[in-house]
Amino acid sequence: MAAAGKADLLIKNARLIDGSGGPSVKGDLGVRGDRILAVGPGLQLEAAQTIDARGKALSPGFIDVHTHDDRAVLVDPLMKCKTSQGCTTVVTGNCGVSLAPLAIDRRPPAPMDLICAEPSGFYERFADYMMALDAEPPAVNVLAQVGHGTLRLGAMRSLERTASADEIKVMRGRLEESLDAGAVGMSTGLFYPPAAAATTDEVIAIGQALMKTAAMHSTHMRDEGEKVLDSLQETFTIGRGMRAPVVVSHHKCSGAAAHGRSVDTLALIDAARATQPVGLDAYPYVAGSTMLNSPRMLQSSKIIVTWSQTRPNFAGRDLDEVAKEMGTDRAGAVERLVPAGGIFFMMDEKDVQRILKYEHTMVGSDGLPHDLHPHPRLWGTFPRVLGHYVRDIGLFTLEEAVRKMTGLPAAQFGLTDRGRLRAGAYADLVLFDPETVADLATFEKPTTPSAGIERVYVNGRAVWQDGRATGTRSGRALRRQQLGTFGAPMR
């Protein structure tokens, strides 16, 4: 493939994994400005800088489709937890929780406090949040959703009931305004207290705003345990009611009574996909993480405290040990630790593997960047899939793993110019060593950067290199108006 002109950067002799899932080829890739100039075997290109990438894999930058990085991208803009994994784009505003649009004068209730405990950290208008990102861009691209929990908190005096017609009108209006300002869609967290009283009809009524703009909807479903199949049905009903593509967030079967049920959930998703756009994501661990005072407590074999406002020194400790020291049980300990967060061991490895392997499953970290002792998924998700699940146990091919992290999410979120190695696309790239790539973040040492991620480029510029952040912040706040169709099928 010949290309005219000089490249800024030429990466030679790499194993090119293009994001489509198809077989990799050995070849070169040239970058000019923020775009891929040319890609293929034997490029004849003059370049200002040339890198020999023999033995290394070059792929599109990874897209973390499930994050709680809303505030992290502003207060920690180098975003090392993500760039060190090869991530170049993050989707924020998940699980019903977003920084905007919300005016609040007190500490927000859990789980809103997972992204921000300070009332002053929230943005009354979504446009202001987007402009804050424009003014101080992070190292990664950002796609932002509006949280249904955030809307409820801003529009309702009491969250323990379903919204009135007037409140729904207010929420829908704020959602419309946010979509106009560039939000990519709305997420729900019907599992959580601030939204648990919302009915299916309430969500659909607010989500009518999505229909007009062809935006998307993602959900932390009402139940991921014994009633997970009912929750999937509700999710599909909501998607049809809004006429919006839906994404089932961090799909799992939680608690021993639900173990093994992924056989049925995936069959149900398959059946639904025949008539409506449905996507899903998962993280590669048997433990989840959220606020500590969660119904998850009863479903978990083990719990680790990730932070506690009242007793910060207990971060990283086993909850049962903490309870013993306090001379009480789990519930008693939680009462003394809240507001607090925890890691919950509640899944079966077979379900995790079956869900990860499913053709339509994307990878999303669900990392919690403000936790004192976070779940290792925050720093380890993507290398863990490439190292542990691909190389060590052979769950699927490297090309398939990269597709789940790039081409598939790009198609799901309408990122028509990202997620693939092709001339003209944005140069979001990751160069890694398939032989050594591995997650090093553990439940004991959760903030250890991964091995084998050598160089990461965002919009043509290196953000991670030689084991550290370069200091470059070339990410962009991406607006819905710049994107293509959501939920587009790929393959």
Nearest CA to 288 out of 364, 232, 221, 366 is that of 366
Q: Measured from the CB atom, is 371 or 399 closer to Cu ion?
A: 371
Q: Given the complex with Zn ion, which of 220 and 476 has the nearer CB atom?
A: 220
Least Cβ distance, residue 220 to Cu ion (angstroms): 6
Q: How far is the CB of 95 from Cu ion (least distance, A)?
A: 4
What does the alpha-carbon distance between residue 160 and residue 152 come to, in Å, rounded to a whole number?
Answer: 10
Q: Which positions from 325 to 364 touch Cu ion by CB under 5 A, shown as an x/- string?
A: ----------------------------------------
Stretch of 45-53, 219-227, 293-301, 303-311 lying at the interface with Zn ion (CB under 5 A): 219-227
Q: Which stretch binds Zn ion (CB under 5 A): 91-99, 343-351, 376-384, 388-396?
A: 91-99
Q: How far apart are alpha carbons 261 and 288 in whole angstroms?
A: 17
> What's the min distance (Å) between Cβ of 66 and Cu ion?
6
Site for Zn ion contains 220 (CB under 5 A): yes
Determine the size of the site formed for Zn ion (CB under 5 A): 2
Choose the contact partner of 115 out of Zn ion, Cu ion, none; CB within 5 to 8 A by kind: none
Name the minimum Å distance from CB 217 to Zn ion: 14
Q: Is the CB of 95 or the CB of 242 nearer to Cu ion?
A: 95
Least Å distance, CB 55 to Zn ion, is 38
By beta-carbon proximity to Zn ion, the closer residue of 283 and 464 is 283
Q: Report d(CA 162, CA 39) in Å as an integer.
A: 53
- What is the per-residue DSSP string for 286-328? SEEEEESSSTHHHH-SEEEEEEESS-GGGTTSBHHHHHHHHTS
Tell me the C-alpha distance between 421 and 24, whole Å.
11
Candidates 203-211, 216-224, 327-335, 342-350: pick the segment binding Zn ion (CB under 5 A): 216-224
Nearer to Cu ion by C-beta: 225 or 434?
225
Q: Is the Cβ–Cβ distance between 368 and 335 less than 8 Å?
A: no
**d(C-alpha 432, C-alpha 405), whole Å:** 14
Near Zn ion by CB under 5 A, which window of 102-110, 139-147, 220-228, 325-333?
A: 220-228
Integer Cα distance of 232 and 192 in angstroms: 16
Contact track, Cu ion, 42-81, x by CB under 5 A: ----------------------------------------
Q: What whole-number distance in Å separates Cα of residue 85 and Cα of residue 27?
A: 23
Smallest distance from Cu ion to CB 249, Å: 6
Residues 6+ away with beta carbon under 8 Å from 427: 31, 34, 35, 36, 457, 459, 460
By the rule CB under 5 A, 20 interacts with Cu ion: no
Tell me the residue type at 249: S
Q: Would you give the binding string for Cu ion spanning residues 359-378, x where CB under 5 A is met?
A: -------x------------
Smallest distance, Å, CB 458 to Cu ion? 23
In the complex, the smallest distance separating the C-beta of residue 135 from Cu ion, rounded to whole angstroms, is 26
* Residue choice 38, 95, 291, 477 for contact with Zn ion (CB under 5 A): 95
480 binds, among Zn ion, Cu ion, none (CB under 5 to 8 A by kind): none
DSSP secondary structure code for residue 389 in this structure: I
Is there a cis peptide before residue 434, judged by omega within 30 degrees of 0?
no
For Cu ion (CB under 5 A), the number of binding residues is: 3
Between CA 229 and CA 261 the distance in angstroms is 9
| Cβ at position 12, least distance to Cu ion in Å | 40
Q: How is residue 393 written in tokens?
A: 């146990």
**Interatomic CA distance for residues 264 and 230, integer angstroms:** 11
**Least distance from Zn ion to the Cβ atom of residue 377, Å:** 12
Answer for which of 10, 14, 29, 95 binds Cu ion (CB under 5 A) is: 95
Q: How far, CA to CA in Å, does 84 sit from each of 369, 456, 485? A: 14, 8, 30
Q: Which does 98 bind (CB under 5 to 8 A by kind): Cu ion, Zn ion, none?
A: none
Q: State the Cα–Cα distance between residues 446 and 228, nearest whole angstrom.
A: 29
Whether the Cβ atoms of residue 203 and residue 235 lie closer than 8 Å to each other: no
Taking Cα atoms as reference points, which of 196, 195, 194, 447 lies closest to residue 306? 447
- Which CB sits closer to Zn ion, 81 or 402? 81
Q: Is 94 in the site for Cu ion (CB under 5 A)?
A: yes
The distance of closest approach from Cβ of residue 95 to Zn ion in the complex, given in angstroms and rounded to an integer, is 3
Nearer to Cu ion, 97 or 430 (CB): 97
Name the 3-class secondary structure at 361: strand
Cβ atoms of 29 and 14 within 8 Å: the answer is yes
Closer by beta carbon to Cu ion, 60 or else 225 = 225
| Identity of the residue, 254 or 474, whose beta carbon is nearer to Cu ion in the bound complex | 254
Segment interacting with Cu ion (CB under 5 A) among 92-100, 137-145, 257-265, 273-281: 92-100
- The site partner of 251 among Cu ion, Zn ion, none (C-beta below 5 to 8 Å per kind) is none
Q: Name the token pair of 323.
A: 């309870």
Opening angle at CA 245, ends 357 and 381, nearest 5: 35
Residues forming the site for Cu ion (CB under 5 A): 94-95, 366
Residues forming the site for Zn ion (CB under 5 A): 95, 220
